[in-house]
Structure 1
Amino acid sequence: MYINADNVLTPFLSGIADAIDAMGGLNGILASTALLINGIYGNKIAESMRSMVANIKVLSGLE
């Protein structure tokens, strides 16, 4: 049973390892992930940071 599961998973995991190697290893994966997240959530992240700064100013009495 375990041998059959291993035989099924091995090509899948090898494919993932090959894709990671093709993207430049961990550095490539992190860079690609950061670009993807920035592309999807970039505007929301910037808006949230501006809101956070405004709230800190209000709470600290600077505004």
Structure 2
Amino acid sequence: MDKDIPFGGKILVFEGDFRQVLHVVPKSTRAETVDASLVRSYLWPLMEKIQLSTNMRARTD
């Protein structure tokens, strides 16, 4: 594991609608809660983002 790069170089998959449900930050304002989210993290620009656009579950086979 490489300690010089985020997550030690491991591949991580984050999924979901980051705007839908914010995590709980006790006694914070809405702005502070948003600022604590992943998309505001210093790590966000370092991540490769892939947007999936085809709903495979609703597809008929």
Shorter-chain TM-score tier? under 0.3
TM-score (normalizing by structure 2)? 0.24
Q: Higher relative CO (CA 8 A, sep ≥ 6), structure 1 or 2?
A: 2
TM-score (normalizing by structure 1)? 0.24
Higher helix share: 1
In our comparison, the structure showing a higher alpha carbon Rg is 1
